[in-house]
Structure 1
């Protein structure tokens, strides 16, 4: 039969299915709060066994009571994710874990003999990784991609295999927005849920196989999944669930089964913490830049918007589960945005910005990269209006809002430790190098039908970043304890080593001390901690921050540091404030030649400073975090443009597919960076 006829028939079937689901969808009832759960214990001082053992394994030979940074990725999609599958990602969780350990891996496109055309490898192995495939549709993907499964020839499965763009729309836009399962799912969706449990079991088996339980402790794999919440308004409310150990529920419940964050917390309370002795988890919100502000609203959600007011009980529960926050990934950074008046004078806020506030919107003409609105129009859905991001899309807004919550409610629901990850959809954790970046797929370009002409990904995306956890050893219990106490930092993809402590009596010469780290712990708290008040007559708090440049590799050398900044936010006399202070380094003569990406000029191998807050008010809620900026370097896209000989002042040098090298929104030069988790100050009483 002619392929065009097949396509038309399948498209008609799909449109009918979607229309039925849309008509049948009803508002999801909101659940009530369960009993309040106590937040995790406060961080303990380093010493003998500051975390509890919940698993059988050999003791790690390499144990450091002063903790060391471990680099990883907590946001990884493989062939089991519906969107990665439509882009012909074939690598499974075990392949992703091997890649994280430094092994080479083939990726799409595949030739006529099913051999990958491209091979990738990270510059250095990771210490830990969690595969976080979309829990929604794990069963459907298994059925539609396994010829021996009943339902393999169902129309939805035919669409998935032969019309992948339509399938992306089917599951992503209709299935998630309307919380409907499509395909051969059987009565009460029992077939799809059963196959999802089978897939979850297989993912867990790969995760266990990858975990190094020997005394070498070379690699840690965490069980996890993505809870993929997407409202009909296009707002992103995705979260990653990371479990502490191998004691996990038999089902990874998705947005369809737990249609609000409160329902997700109830599931984890009842079927993990209370139902399985030894089970525990953290829930990490995705970067907030595509949430249209929803990440910092109530955890109760309706079909179209957040509803209700945040209570103290809700703030306490959120603080219990959301101990970490994904500040950056391949879909942009979420710290701040210098296109907005509040941050207009802060150049560092222009780093890796998207042009719109949500997915699935209309292109209004002022937003150059509105996504997936075309998909909604194809099936008769009304795409929401897309606008540039507002202040509520960004982390700094959320951190300040948390201070106000603490003042008014006695609880801070937005008390986040900071990490980054990749959100790769080609099963490539830790692939963050700007050189030779192939694109991570997902909402970006896929290579199912061949290599794209020109740039391998859309201009707005980037390679993503790393999650860094300070722990005594590379084991699940030690790293999970770091997640719960928020002793973590985020990077944009490089590996600088950052320390940040807050206390009251640090000496001016602490940076010169060989015992700086030990004295940082004994005299105060590390990043992610709470600085206890000392009374109204106390002097101002002091902070010590140190940073060492990424040592790099021969192929991917590190870049010197330019400056270290401390960002302060505070709530005083019913008003929220913020300030950025350079505390080490500063403007220099560093530069990069965009035609060959060679760097030159001065910089720093190490930076360290002890800083005292001159404007401290002991009665005002406050947070402090540090931002470390490297010298300028070429962005991934400019590296490809330069290698292709593109010179934007000479149209003859711009081959087909490389036009984006010269569009106004192409930021050719970036400054890689790291962000520490905040240290919070709460007045007595």
Structure 2
């Protein structure tokens, strides 16, 4: 009999035990994944996807079903509007690489109305509201949304207390669940994970500020109907409904909530107050921290990382995909520092923790598309057809020229570090905030923080294991500080590997962003380049979109905060930057032969190519979830956070 080395046997045993423990944590029946890694692996997905059951998508001609959206995420081709009389699509979309996970997140408020107005045998089909929906869809878009998201009310055809529309919603809600079930790979291959979820869609009426949130369920055990803004017109009321209808139920229902695109919230998404105004309470802060562990930092309606103003000392990289307005209603109100940008909100959370004993804004980050074509993960800059929604409609014809508003973009991806590609493993990772966001590319990045990482950690063969053992990953809270120690971080990043037909762009540099609160309660921010080189000479030819210059396939650095003050609460996150490349709009301007010096080349629909607001160059990026430091002021908060359960 062949002798097997003892250490090899111990390694196999350790992996088997870890896998068995993970399998015992499943909240629904499935086979354990064959591809299991105790040091975790990255999975890319999209948690913000609208199909035919979202009113804004359907009134713009989207016919993609939830099942087709999940098939698209796995590599299938779908047709998109406009459609001819025989039901043939004029355009199609297909991903170059499948996603690992996705979630259809149709608007909970109006799925019943959409079903009613499209189903002849349904009571209410011939109501004037449904006639408006079918014959003047853009009018219905504004009326239905105004009533649902600003007035928190159903329309008259829904009957007493909206009961008819709630009954009509059972069919599409059931279809969403069935589609997710059929798409979920429960075999040991674990090729694809689908989540059941929806969007809760509210708006602050006076400012037009976006209050939208996506609800993600851990498994197939979900409420009979989703709780929308009409039933729960406040974030705290949504949490209460999830507590009542999900967490306190007899099954294994579990859920988390993700606020999204706070860049359009006019400051109301993270106001520092209660939902209806008034001083935030510790109870409210704790509930917010419990239910909302993540925030969407990027989607096709702009980036929400930080505000840029052209003044001395500003972080110019904050200008990335910044929109000209601070609200989703389109009111002419420019963005500002207090609009709801994530970096400032993270700092505000530190300040609130001083008074409340708990940080309500201690969240990790993800990105997604917010596609209204049912096309999860369609983030390529080349060939971008727009995402619908608030963008340029194409219900009746393909618009001439640029297919979307200049201010919009293809959106981003959610990245999750988990042991395997299963609902439970991904959900647990989201709960512990071990996530990051990208503006589209599949950049791979890790971020760890501790007190005694060696300077050569990047070069060690078991760097990841040591980083976990001696510290915390992105989304974590540093353990209590040893005497006279300063925090040390390991930052690692790899460029998107791309495909043979579309290779990835090399990395330019990695930055650490630090925020802190001083003794007076004032917040501060600092940006530090820790790896790579901002002046590497990389550029892009705007006439051909060819890229030039050198970059990095990989970057890794151990960085110590030598300016650390143990009496100041702080957060740290990373920003990984690619070399510059052509933005989607410039690619289409080049393809159309537009030369801004020659007016004859600026054909219909392409005037935006030469607009002052046009941004021809994009520097794609990834943002890690933060790592926090909280001084142990006797409240026990720092220790409690550091030892919190992961799932």
Q: TM-score, normalised by structure 2?
A: 0.93
Confirm or deny that 1:547 pairs with 2:493. Answer: yes
Confirm or deny that 1:560 pairs with 2:506. Answer: yes
Aligned-partner Cα distance in 1 for 2:334–2:552: 40
Q: CA deviation at 1:183?
A: 4.3
Counterpart pick for 1:314 among 257, 265, 284: 284
Confirm or deny that 1:595 pairs with 2:569. Answer: no
Q: CA deviation at 1:231?
A: 2.1
SS of equivalent to 2:269: helix
What does 1:665-684 align with in structure 2 at a 5 Å threshold? 665-684=613-632
Which residue matches 1:122?
95
Listed one character per residue, the Cα deviations across residues 576-607 of structure 1 (whole Å, up to 9, x for unaligned) are 11100000001210000011100010100000
What does 1:34-183 align with in structure 2 at a 5 Å threshold? 49=21, 52-183=25-156
Confirm or deny that 1:576 pairs with 2:523. Answer: yes
SS of equivalent to 1:531: coil
Aligned-partner Cα distance in 1 for 2:334–2:316: 22
Aligned-partner Cα distance in 1 for 2:250–2:421: 24
Which residue matches 1:245?
219
Deviates more, 1:585-594 or 1:142-151: 142-151
Aligned-partner Cα distance in 2 for 1:600–1:340: 28
Q: CA deviation at 1:253?
A: 1.1
Aligned-partner Cα distance in 1 for 2:328–2:43: 33
Which residue matches 1:615?
563
Confirm or deny that 1:283 pairs with 2:257. Answer: yes
Aligned-partner Cα distance in 2 for 1:320–1:221: 23
Listed one character per residue, the Cα deviations across residues 190-209 of structure 1 (whole Å, up to 9, x for unaligned) are 11111112221111111111
What does 1:351-430 align with in structure 2 at a 5 Å threshold? 351-363=320-332, 386-430=333-377
Confirm or deny that 1:451 pairs with 2:403. Answer: no
Aligned-partner Cα distance in 2 for 1:95–1:336: 35
Aligned-partner Cα distance in 2 for 1:623–1:392: 20
For structure 2, the residue ranges without an aligned partner over 5 or more in a row are 1-16, 635-647
Aligned-partner Cα distance in 1 for 2:82–2:255: 36
Aligned-partner Cα distance in 1 for 2:566–2:340: 29
Counterpart pick for 1:503 among 433, 443, 450: 450
Q: CA deviation at 1:361?
A: 4.3
Aligned-partner Cα distance in 2 for 1:137–1:148: 18
Q: CA deviation at 1:554?
A: 2.0
Contact preservation (8 Å) 1:76, 1:428: yes
Aligned-partner Cα distance in 2 for 1:393–1:322: 15
Contact preservation (8 Å) 2:80, 2:89: yes
Aligned-partner Cα distance in 1 for 2:611–2:314: 24
Are residues 567 and 46 of structure 1, via their aligned partners in 2, closer, same or farther at CA, if it must alter by over 3 Å?
farther
Aligned-partner Cα distance in 2 for 1:98–1:123: 13
Aligned-partner Cα distance in 2 for 1:521–1:171: 50
Which residue matches 1:440?
387
SS of equivalent to 1:119: strand
Q: CA deviation at 1:513?
A: 1.2
SS of equivalent to 2:108: coil
Contact preservation (8 Å) 2:62, 2:372: yes
SS of equivalent to 1:113: coil
Contact preservation (8 Å) 2:112, 2:169: yes
Confirm or deny that 1:330 pairs with 2:300. Answer: yes
Q: CA deviation at 1:142?
A: 0.2
Q: CA deviation at 1:338?
A: 1.6
Which residue matches 1:295?
269
Counterpart pick for 2:609 among 632, 652, 661: 661
Contact preservation (8 Å) 2:272, 2:352: no
Contact preservation (8 Å) 2:264, 2:339: no
Aligned-partner Cα distance in 1 for 2:310–2:601: 35
Contact preservation (8 Å) 2:70, 2:102: yes
Counterpart pick for 1:464 among 411, 414, 427: 411
For structure 1, the residue ranges without an aligned partner over 5 or more in a row are 1-44, 364-385
Contact preservation (8 Å) 1:466, 1:493: yes
Q: CA deviation at 1:96?
A: 0.3
Contact preservation (8 Å) 1:319, 1:415: yes
Aligned-partner Cα distance in 2 for 1:500–1:361: 37
Which residue matches 2:240?
266
SS of equivalent to 2:109: coil
Deviates more, 1:76-85 or 1:180-189: 180-189
SS of equivalent to 1:545: strand
Counterpart pick for 1:473 among 420, 423, 426: 420
Aligned-partner Cα distance in 1 for 2:409–2:38: 36
Aligned-partner Cα distance in 2 for 1:638–1:361: 25
Contact preservation (8 Å) 1:338, 1:344: no
Which residue matches 2:171?
198
Q: CA deviation at 1:533?
A: 2.1
Counterpart pick for 2:592 among 641, 644, 648: 644
Number of residue pairs matched? 613
Aligned-partner Cα distance in 1 for 2:427–2:131: 41
Which residue matches 1:224?
197
Q: CA deviation at 1:176?
A: 1.9
Q: TM-score, normalised by structure 1?
A: 0.88
Confirm or deny that 1:605 pairs with 2:553. Answer: yes
Deviates more, 1:168-177 or 1:423-432: 168-177
Q: CA deviation at 1:171?
A: 1.2
Q: How large is the RMSD of aligned CA atoms in angstroms?
A: 1.5
Listed one character per residue, the Cα deviations across residues 273-295 of structure 1 (whole Å, up to 9, x for unaligned) are 00243111110001110001111
Q: CA deviation at 1:49?
A: 3.1
Q: CA deviation at 1:299?
A: 6.7
SS of equivalent to 2:49: coil
Which residue matches 1:33?
none
Are residues 340 and 680 of structure 1, via their aligned partners in 2, closer, same or farther at CA, if it must alter by over 3 Å?
farther
